[in-house]
Amino acid sequence: MPPAQDALATLRLPPCPLWPDTRLAPKEAAPPRRPQTRADDERHGPADTRPYRHGPLLGDDRAIGRDWARPARRPVAAGRDQFVAWCREAGLSVRVDGIGNIFARRAGTEDSLPPVVMGSHLDTQFNGGRFDGILGVLGGLEVCRALDTIGHRTRRPIEVVNWTNEEGARFSPPMVGSGAFTGTYTLDWARGRIDEDGRTMGEELARIGYLGEVQDSPHAFDAYFELHIEQGPILDREGMQVGIVTGGFPSTGMLIEFKGETAHTGPWPMERRKNALIAGARFLVAVDDLGWVHAGTGGKATAARLVAWPNKPGILSDWAQAVGDVRHPDPTTSAVMAEAMRRAAFEAAAKADCGVEILDVWQWGGRIFAQDLIEQVRGIAAARGYRHRDILSQAGHDAYFVARHAPTTMIFTPCKGGITHNNGELCTREDLEPGLDVLLRAVLARANGPD
Amino acid sequence: MPPAQDALATLRLPPCPLWPDTRLAPKEAAPPRRPQTRADDERHGPADTRPYRHGPLLGDDRAIGRDWARPARRPVAAGRDQFVAWCREAGLSVRVDGIGNIFARRAGTEDSLPPVVMGSHLDTQFNGGRFDGILGVLGGLEVCRALDTIGHRTRRPIEVVNWTNEEGARFSPPMVGSGAFTGTYTLDWARGRIDEDGRTMGEELARIGYLGEVQDSPHAFDAYFELHIEQGPILDREGMQVGIVTGGFPSTGMLIEFKGETAHTGPWPMERRKNALIAGARFLVAVDDLGWVHAGTGGKATAARLVAWPNKPGILSDWAQAVGDVRHPDPTTSAVMAEAMRRAAFEAAAKADCGVEILDVWQWGGRIFAQDLIEQVRGIAAARGYRHRDILSQAGHDAYFVARHAPTTMIFTPCKGGITHNNGELCTREDLEPGLDVLLRAVLARANGPD
């Protein structure tokens, strides 16, 4: 029997034993890996072989099957195991799909209806914090526990999902779990993603016990809500409590390959050099300059990765790959920036007398969230008296892929100074409660709503 | 009994069974390691995990103890073993010092005198050829075998040396074997050099059986001659047969560290970014530009290495290291270029709002070879009728360190097009014979000379 409407109306999230939890405290920061160099151990002591600072326990998903501490490499699935344990304590039934996505289900009174789904990702960036993604997963669990406190069972079932490898920190590309679930990537392709040691994601998921049954087709969702920290400074600066996410910056990323010739760094004449590393560096600088051109209107251009081979003193590199992306709130300007980035790749290659190929172009963002869900979330935030504003996401999220599968929207919370992808990422319970409350009420409304 | 002077005067290098040798043929080229990226296996097939093309058998020294073919990693010392076997076949006594330098000795009639030493290095760059360094070592062995053909024993002993890790391709810095021998580096420091997998050079040398007895002080040399390919296009272009190396371009290298802050590549405002990778890229571009400014007078500026952390799409890097070097035949201009490179590091850091530190500065080149040896080599080349010219080395060589220990000079041979540090490196027997002949006669004259 559903409780009286009064009970639902006055329902609040309980002081939750899960949040904040000491198990979410970041471990002591360790210095990043410093590749061995001439002066390394004289100046820094023996090279630190840990390639990233340890983040939160629940973020160790990024290290599926791997503990970076040498010499032993032992399986690390503590974050996933902890989440599953908490779900089972809350009476949820847990299943894992063919790419390691975890679905925790709370039955509905009409349990054959498609579930209302909440979620995000437990994995983190190499230097990430303890809220990016984790908030959306544990927030979903909190919603379920809140309903338990008043014994309410919704009409539709509710699910909490942890999508595998949203960040793409160990296995590229990002958002591969939601991409495989929604058919953007085939399951075989997703399982075949290789880390820099040559291990596949499928093998590693199997090794830690998180490679579930193959699903030929994903189960239907009634709706998908993703609660997430803004990962930017706007809400915090303006004192806003809730961000109503109406879409994302139209964005374009490119993977560029440069090809040159190896030669000696000494005698080889400047005019005969084809140093692919220099082609890559010129591309990076051009992308950064492009970001500055459009900074005044909110644009960003980022070159975050450059690898080259052999990339050693003494020899010119014959191969380099760079990744660049551009983001702008205005679709036309975003397209102009993407074209400028493409041109920059060819100019950089020409200056360094190298070949160039654009290996991959990917795009995300735009206005693909469900208008009725956006309006519902905005209405709840207003009715509850929260300071809120519409906002565009500037980052990639699983929600973009899920939006191809089911009506989808996102809810943003502020985070201190907008700091993210950094151990300094911080939110207080007070920062998060309005967003959690809106999530709770939006899911409730949807789960108890009419067909 | 020494042979008649006639026999020495008419002595020629025999058609040598060692050179060219099929065992020196480069193995089939394999593609370089391509770090795993979004499009890798779609476009290139599964990621190749071999980090460099296999070079010549005798160049496998670079891979001390390691076979890059996965999954097995087995010791690779084939190059060293082959050299030692050939030395023993030639009746030379072989010993290995505390950093793996191999000395093969041919006794003299006054065997307590300091030896005349010839040599270079068997290790190669990741994409290196089969002559760089290898020529000087096997050339020394050929000299010994030529003397055997006429049964001549020199007054002073003769030694052929293979210096460990000249290229610095696996363990940094380069020229560490000759540096340790001559006391530039301590033996412990040299043995403690770490590769990117955290293995020390000392451990790896011990594992393959090339960590010899510790020597507290190096044995005295009467003189040191290093035969080497020019590694540049000058001799080949001018049709010269022998290069009389009078010194090296005054050169300066720097290891630069940039420090920034990790942040999200999307929402984080351009004006708050501290992307250390961009600081590094701006430094690389500035160094390359500097090389072009001085190209007309023979100058070179090279940025051959850039590493960053985390260096992943999605996150700004908080750390980068770059290596740059400048070389110019004129010492004053070389110093001006070094100062410009230093300034470029600070300007690059300022533009990217990052911290910067110059971790290491190293210099080489100049006129440090022995004038009497230079004149002797020039005289022999002239007397033998070889087209020859004085030339400055533009690369680093073990000879620079050895010059601090004993009278030293170098002899250059042409190589096709000056191509080096590249699988296309090529010399014919005809390209090499004049240099080998000059080496033979210079060593003979020195080994039989008065006190």
**Mutation for B interface: A54, A166, A262, most B CBs within 10 A:** A262
Identify whether B162 is part of a domain. Answer: yes
Interface A–B counts its CB contacts (< 8 A) at 331
**CB of B239 within 8 Å of any CB in chain A?**
no
What is the CATH classification number for the domain harbouring B332?
3.30.70.360
The SS3 assignment for A7 reads helix
Return the pLDDT at B76. Answer: 41
A120-124, A213-217, B414-418: range with lowest mean pLDDT: A213-217
Same domain, B88 and B216: yes
Question: Residue A232 and residue B267: Cβ atoms within 8 Å?
Answer: yes
Question: Does residue A150 have a pLDDT over 90?
Answer: no
Return the pLDDT at B50. Answer: 28
Return the pLDDT at B56. Answer: 31
Burial class from Cβ neighbours inside 10 Å (0-12, 13-18, 19+) for residue A10 reads: exposed
**CB of A85 within 8 Å of any CB in chain B?**
no
More confident residue, B122 or A378: A378
Q: Quick one: average pLDDT of A428-451?
A: 92
Q: How far is B335 from chain A (nearest CA, A)?
A: 16
Same domain, A78 and A156: yes
Pairing of strands A319-327, B355-366: unpaired
Which residues on chain A are in Cβ contact (under 8 Å) with B179? none
The SS3 assignment for B98 reads coil
Which residues on chain A are in Cβ contact (under 8 Å) with B292? 270
**Mutation for A interface: B165, B306, B361, most A CBs within 10 A:** B306
What count of other Cβ atoms lies within 10 Å of the Cβ of residue A113? 16
Strand partners, B187: none
Tokens of B248: 């090296």
Residues 6+ apart with CB under 8 A from A448: A2, A154, A155, A156
Cβ distance B311 to A307 under 8 Å?
Answer: yes
The SS3 assignment for B334 reads helix
Question: Residue B38 and residue A307: Cβ atoms within 8 Å?
Answer: no
Task: For B197, name the nearest residue in chain A, comparing CA atoms only.
Answer: A49
Question: Does residue B31 have a pLDDT over 90?
Answer: no
Out of A167, A174, A316, the one facing B304 most closely (by C-beta) is: A316
Which residues on chain A are in Cβ contact (under 8 Å) with B337? none
Q: How far is B1 from chain A (nearest CA, A)?
A: 45
Out of A313, A327, A360, the one facing B38 most closely (by C-beta) is: A360
Question: Residue B422 and residue A262: Cβ atoms within 8 Å?
Answer: yes
Q: How far is B55 from chain A (nearest CA, A)?
A: 14
Task: For A316, name the nearest residue in chain B, comparing CA atoms only.
Answer: B304
DSSP B76: -
Same domain, A177 and A279: no
Average pLDDT of chain A is: 83
Question: Does residue B312 have a pLDDT over 80?
Answer: yes
Out of A267, A310, A394, the one facing B126 most closely (by C-beta) is: A310
**CB of A72 within 8 Å of any CB in chain B?**
no
DSSP B123: -
What is the CATH classification number for the domain harbouring B193?
3.40.630.10
Return the pLDDT at A248. Answer: 95
Same domain, A394 and A273: no
Question: Does residue A98 have a pLDDT over 60?
Answer: yes
More confident residue, B20 or A417: A417
Q: Does a cis peptide bond (omega within 30 degrees of 0) precede residue A115?
A: no
**CB of A124 within 8 Å of any CB in chain B?**
no
Choose the final residue of a domain: B331, B353, B375.
B353
Question: Residue B325 and residue A263: Cβ atoms within 8 Å?
Answer: no
Return the closest-CA partner of residue A425 out of A79, A135, A69. A135
Q: How far is A387 from chain B (nearest CA, A)?
A: 21
A32-60 tens-digit pLDDT:
334 333 333 333 333 333 222 222 323 33
Same domain, A432 and A326: no
Question: Residue A125 and residue B262: Cβ atoms within 8 Å?
Answer: yes
Which residues on chain B are in Cβ contact (under 8 Å) with A52? 310
Out of A253, A271, A325, the one facing B295 most closely (by C-beta) is: A271
**CB of A296 within 8 Å of any CB in chain B?**
no
Cβ distance B238 to B385 under 8 Å?
Answer: no
Strand partners, A305: A323
Q: How far is B351 from chain A (nearest CA, A)?
A: 10
Q: How far is A42 from chain B (nearest CA, A)?
A: 9
Return the pLDDT at A14. Answer: 59
Return the pLDDT at B128. Answer: 72
Question: Residue A32 and residue B310: Cβ atoms within 8 Å?
Answer: yes
What count of other Cβ atoms lies within 10 Å of the Cβ of residue A313? 24
Question: Does residue A289 have a pLDDT over 90?
Answer: yes
Q: Model pTM greater than 0.80?
A: yes
Q: Quick one: average pLDDT of B103-115?
A: 97
Question: Does residue B340 have a pLDDT over 90?
Answer: yes
Same domain, B85 and B232: yes
Q: Quick one: average pLDDT of B70-89?
A: 63
Q: How confident is the model at residue A322 (pLDDT cuts 50, 70, 90)?
A: very high
Out of B37, B126, B251, the one facing A315 most closely (by C-beta) is: B126
Cβ distance B113 to B153 under 8 Å?
Answer: no
Can you point out the beta strands (E) in B338-387?
A: 355-366
Question: Does residue B41 have a pLDDT over 70?
Answer: no
Question: Does residue A78 have a pLDDT over 70?
Answer: no
Q: Name the B residues in 9-28 with CB < 8 Å from any A CB.
A: none
Identify whether B361 is part of a domain. Answer: no
Residues 6+ apart with CB under 8 A from B16: B142, B145
Q: ipTM score of the complex? A: 0.83
Longest dimension (CA), chain A: 85
Q: Quick one: average pLDDT of A402-427?
A: 91
Average pLDDT of chain B is: 83
Return the pLDDT at B423. Answer: 74
Q: Name the A residues in 307-366 with CB < 8 Å from any B CB.
A: 307-319, 321, 323, 325, 327, 352, 359-360, 362
- Structural domains of chain B, count: 2
Choose the final residue of a domain: B289, B319, B353.
B353
CA distance B24 to B152: 28
CA distance B169 to A269: 22
Identify whether A254 is part of a domain. Answer: no
Which residues on chain A are in Cβ contact (under 8 Å) with B396? 266, 314
Question: Does residue A154 have a pLDDT over 80?
Answer: yes
Q: How far is A53 from chain B (nearest CA, A)?
A: 10
Same domain, B243 and B269: no
More confident residue, B338 or A133: B338
Same domain, B377 and B332: no
Which residues on chain A are in Cβ contact (under 8 Å) with B125? 262, 310, 312, 314-315
Identify whether B300 is part of a domain. Answer: yes
Same domain, B225 and B114: yes
**CB of A164 within 8 Å of any CB in chain B?**
no
Question: Does residue B443 have a pLDDT over 90?
Answer: yes
What count of other Cβ atoms lies within 10 Å of the Cβ of residue A405? 18
Q: How far is A408 from chain B (nearest CA, A)?
A: 21
Cβ distance B398 to B432 under 8 Å?
Answer: no
Return the pLDDT at B313. Answer: 85
Identify whether B359 is part of a domain. Answer: no
Tokens of B109: 């009639």
Out of A37, A198, A281, the one facing B255 most closely (by C-beta) is: A37
Q: How confident is the model at residue A117 (pLDDT cuts 50, 70, 90)?
A: very high
B345-390 tens-digit pLDDT:
999 999 999 999 998 888 889 999 999 999 999 999 999 999 999 9
Question: Residue B310 and residue A125: Cβ atoms within 8 Å?
Answer: yes
Identify whether B360 is part of a domain. Answer: no
Return the pLDDT at B91. Answer: 95
Return the closest-CA partner of residue A314 out of B334, B167, B213, B356. B167
Same domain, A299 and A156: no
Same domain, A330 and A417: no
Q: Quick one: average pLDDT of B208-232?
A: 89
Cβ distance B126 to B53 under 8 Å?
Answer: yes
Q: How confident is the model at residue B170 (pLDDT cuts 50, 70, 90)?
A: confident
A148-162, A227-241, B17-31: range with lowest mean pLDDT: B17-31
Question: Does residue A368 have a pLDDT over 80?
Answer: yes
DSSP A219: P
Q: Quick one: average pLDDT of A408-430?
A: 89
Q: How far is A25 from chain B (nearest CA, A)?
A: 19
Question: Does residue B247 have a pLDDT over 70?
Answer: yes
Question: Residue B172 and residue A38: Cβ atoms within 8 Å?
Answer: yes
Same domain, A152 and A284: no
CA distance B333 to A133: 55
Burial class from Cβ neighbours inside 10 Å (0-12, 13-18, 19+) for residue B135 reads: buried
A99-108, A264-273, B51-60, B309-318: range with lowest mean pLDDT: B51-60
By residue range, what is the domain housing residue A298?
261-353
**CB of B263 within 8 Å of any CB in chain A?**
yes
Out of A249, A264, A306, the one facing B281 most closely (by C-beta) is: A306
Identify whether B252 is part of a domain. Answer: no
Amino acid in position B134: I
Choose the final residue of a domain: A353, A377, A405.
A353
Range picked from B72-76, B149-153, B420-424 for highest mean pLDDT: B149-153
Identify whether A361 is part of a domain. Answer: no
Return the pLDDT at B80. Answer: 81
Cβ distance A55 to A23 under 8 Å?
Answer: no
